Amino acid sequence: MDWIGPVLILLLCLLAIASLLKKGSSWNNRSPNLPPGPSTIPILGNLHRMDLKRPYRTMIKLSKEYGPVFRLKLGFQEMVVLTGYETVKEALVNQADAFAERPFVPIFDDLSKGFGIVFAHGENWKVMRRFTLATLRDYGMGRRTIEDKIIEECGVLTRTIETYAGKSFGVTRIMTAAVSNIIVSILFGKRYDYEDATFLRLLKLMRENVRLSATPVVLIYNVFPMLGFLLGSHKTVMNNRKEFHDFIETTFIERLKDLDENDRRSFIDSFLVRQREENMKMTNGEYFHNENLKALISDLFGAGTETSANSLLWAILLMMKHPEIQRKVQEEIAKVIGDLQPRTDHRARMPYTDAVIHEVQRFADIVPTNVPHATTRDITFKGFFIPKGMFIAPLLTSVLHDESQWEKPHEFYPEHFLDSEGKFAKNAAFLPFSAGRRACAGENLAKMELFLFFTSLLQRFTFQPPPGTPKDDLDLTPDLGLTIPPMPYKTCAGLR
């Protein structure tokens, strides 16, 4: 093992040389009006100050010292951090075009190659987003057809929970499978049994990549990509990507055998029909290729599963933690819905339940750092110069916990969304799906899923901690990942 010391010294020397070559970088000293920020040290920048597991927490602390617009340097990666509702809104909504790009982040570029929708760039992103929104509408997003699919899945989920007969069980696997089946039915034109080995494998690959992509090891890779060959987590992420893409490729190759443009059974079918049309017309065919299809399906599968599933996992945990809130929701369900099947039409008459669902999303803070943005041009923002292509971190956690916008920002408090008369009250700082050009494409679908799954579950069950576990001992510490689930837990679902 005598070789380890010299190799590390060599790597540090290479990093130091690279750091010197990067001097001046994006800012290029073109303006005296640069955002403030902490002083840096060679090679590391500000990396030594960061909570590597939850960097957004360090960023929030720094914002109290440097203000709502400040700059950081993590290794060679320079960025501008935006915090607070007013600042994030000004960037993503009022100056949406200027903040509409994605930065080049090594792990995301390795995963997507610039294709798909979530991490795509420029014209490719615009074409794929237009196609995705139109196709999701064709397959019923926001309409009765997709509502019926969600209700069907709610039935399967409640029947599965009934099999535990009130005994303690872990809810993560079946909840994730149930939610995922909604986007899967759109993408692949089918649903999977919760025990299906292929389905469970796909969910494992997706969840593992979501978790690993936010680990300290991958953060180090993002700031020092030349070290990738030493980092096992990066290799695991890429192996998982290949296995998932191989599955998608096998699926759409099978679809091509009997593709009928007049009988499109899935999102994949619609893409392949469009691909055929564009190839015949020789217009825009550069976008409708197989690599874009694989990246797009990966993006939609992950985004359509993780955020809603994690929100519902938080909802059940918070109902166990706050049984008085669970009772009030159940009383409203009994009053408005009774024994009928919950429908989205009921939501307008259920202000308390609606408030609880919104507060779950706010409190759970599923995507605290947001997906990073980048500037499309040189701009002056809040009096500071920010160059084109700058990595922008608009922290959603700072919006959802903004003390100027929320009465009790760090508590679970459904009254945040109720007025003095008990009616549902919107709050402009409720931005769990982000905002602007890069807002979540599946926001309407997610809202429908959350309401129907949540009301169906609480109509049928009362969720309690396992025997011997006081509610005060329930752990609300968030787990790690690009999207944040609660720590794994068990529940008992008693029939009502």
pLDDT in tens, 337-356: 999 999 999 999 999 999 99
Nearest-Å Rg of the Cα atoms of the chain is 24
For domain 4-495, say whether CATH 1.10.630.10 is its number. Answer: yes
Helices 290-321 and 323-336: crossing angle in degrees, nearest 10, is: 110
Measured over the CA atoms of residue 372, residue 11, residue 230 and residue 54, the dihedral's sign is negative
When pLDDT is cut at 50, 70 and 90, the band that residue 233 belongs to is confident
Q: What is the mean pLDDT of residues 264-292?
A: 85
- Is the distance from CB of 218 to CB of 237 less than 8 angstroms? yes
Band of residue 24 on the pLDDT scale cut at 50, 70, 90: very low
Tell me the backbone φ, ψ of residue 453, rounded to 5 degrees.
-65, -45
Could you tell me whether strands 391-394 and 77-82 are parallel, antiparallel, or unpaired per DSSP bridges? parallel
Here the tokens at position 466 are: 């396992």
What does the alpha-carbon distance between residue 303 and residue 37 come to, in Å, rounded to a whole number?
33
Average of per-residue pLDDT across 248-269: 84
Inter-residue contact 334 to 81 (CB < 8 Å): no
Quick one: pLDDT at residue 435? Answer: 94
Give the model's pLDDT for residue 265.
85
Query: For residues 295 and 115, is the Cβ–Cβ distance under 8 A?
Result: yes
To which residue do tokens 């030493």 refer?
Answer: 230
169 near 468, Cβ under 8 Å? Answer: no
How far apart are alpha carbons 323 and 462 in whole angstroms? 9
Instruction: Quote the mean pLDDT of the chain.
Output: 90
pTM for the structure as a whole: 0.92
Quick check: 482 pLDDT over 60? yes
Task: Provide the residue type at 6 as one letter.
Answer: P
What span, in angstroms and rounded, lies between the C-alpha atoms of 312 and 361? 9
Residue with tokens 């020397």: 13
Whether 286 contacts 335, CB under 8 Å: no
- The whole-angstrom separation of Cα 318 and Cα 327 is 12
**91-111 tens-digit pLDDT:** 999 999 999 999 999 999 999
Token pair listed for 190 = 């089918």
pLDDT digits 0-9 by tens, 369-409: 999 999 999 999 999 999 999 999 999 999 999 999 999 99
CB count in 10 Å sphere of residue 342? 24
The 10s digit of each residue's pLDDT in 284-293 is: 568 999 999 9
Question: Between 253 and 364, where is the model more confident?
Answer: 364
**Cβ atoms within 10 Å of 62's Cβ, excluding its own:** 21
Which range has the top average pLDDT, 276-280, 414-418, 440-444?
A: 414-418
Contact 320, 465 (CB under 8 A): yes
Examine the pLDDT at 360 and tell me if it is beyond 60: yes
| pLDDT given for residue 33 in this prediction | 87
pLDDT of residue 27: 59
